[in-house]
Amino acid sequence: MPFSDDNTATVQAFIELLDGMLDDPLDRRRPPVVTFWCGAGFSKAWDPSSPTDGDLFAIDLDDIHDFPNLQHVLHVIGWADYRRLNFEQFKNLRYVLDMQVRYPDIRNRYFDIQNLKLSISELRTLIMRRFQAACDVQNVDDDLRFTTERDSMDQQNITALFALLEQRARHAGLDANCPLYHFLTTNYDFTIESILERVHAHSAPVFGRLYRGVTPSRICGSTIWEHLPRTVDRTVIKINGGFEILPTLEGFEFEYRARSDRAIREAPPLLILPSQVQDYDEPYFHQVFPKAVRLLRETDVLVIVGYSMPPEDALIRFILRQLAESPSDARGKHVFVIDTKNHDIIKSRLEEVFFYLPSVGWPREHYFSGRFEEFCRRAVTQ
């Protein structure tokens, strides 16, 4: 079956596919599962000021004047005279730190595990600081709500799409404890939580509904037993970590409230930073990756928004491939790709992930050339 990159046809196919799956009597099959795989373009659709990788990870060295361990690292590797690191140089710096941590036998004479770990913490602090300077992180307010004074028209259209999916799921007989859609994201921010907050505006704080692949000991300073009801039925997994994920001796805490720069320095969030070879050795990732794989294998419709499947994301692309381990697993599944990039490139990368796609035609591929907010606008007016 030839793929279509006609936007009108893609939106129509998405709506008709959902209607067809939801029209099937539930006693004959399991409930359908739609998974949104969210890259940087998803956050940028919600907030145009949200930085891309090239903006977030390109740093002036004046930015690290109060990070002594990072300054030491740059001096030791001979980069002290650089005034600015571009995205590729940032990935190289992160790679140097990873290799020094991983292989102590070849570690530089002026590096040790303590200053290396402190440098990684300083990098994570720096990236959160830069993100906060670029856009609104959307921390919760005093009532633990993700709210703003007024949503833009684009934000209203995005919210309307997910509200529409909720309505159609309820109409088809899916109850609130059996959600139609879930999220996997490579982003650090709170965009998904903010959207779901609006969809479920009259419910308890939305993070009580979300299963994150790990269970935190505390959320926003309170034990999880104080955040009731906790139905944890909708999966939201942040594959690269998140600004709210704070490692502790007991495991993890989630902190969605605004924190001071000093507090962030003392307890930086758990973030995977871009590198030439990504390092996912920390316990959080060992726990959430199997959950991501299980969700993908149960997924009928995968919607990839603003994620271009770059070749350096080898492990992430391997996880994405778990939508269908083999051609037989792919039958009946669909992939929708919503992206502003050249779709010849995106198509070739999708077919690298699902290498059997050109020969068997599964999963079915659909392309929308444009921004996610435009896709949402068209979908809700179908």
| DSSP string computed for 64-75 | GTT-HHHHHHHH
Give CA–CA dist 282/41, Å, rounded: 26
List of residues 6+ apart from 167 with CB closer than 8 A: none
What pLDDT shows up at residue 311? 83
What pLDDT shows up at residue 316? 93
What pLDDT shows up at residue 53? 86
Question: Hey, which bits of the chain come out as E strands?
Answer: 34-38, 59-60, 84-85, 181-185, 210-211, 218-219, 222-223, 234-238, 241-242, 245-247, 252-254, 270-271, 301-305, 334-339, 364-369
- Identify the three-state secondary structure at position 209: helix
What pLDDT shows up at residue 230? 63
What pLDDT shows up at residue 273? 94
What pLDDT digit, counting tens, does each position of 282-338 carry? 999 999 999 999 999 999 999 999 999 988 888 999 999 999 988 899 999 999 999
What pLDDT digit, counting tens, does each position of 182-232 carry? 999 999 999 999 999 999 876 767 887 899 999 999 999 988 777 655 667
What pLDDT shows up at residue 364? 95
In the chain, which stretches have pLDDT less than 70? 1-5, 27, 202, 204, 227-231
Two tokens, residue 109: 């004479």
Give CA–CA dist 18/4, Å, rounded: 18
Give CA–CA dist 295/289, Å, rounded: 10
What pLDDT shows up at residue 147? 79
Question: What predicted TM-score, i.e. pTM, was given to this entire model?
Answer: 0.94
What pLDDT shows up at residue 227? 64
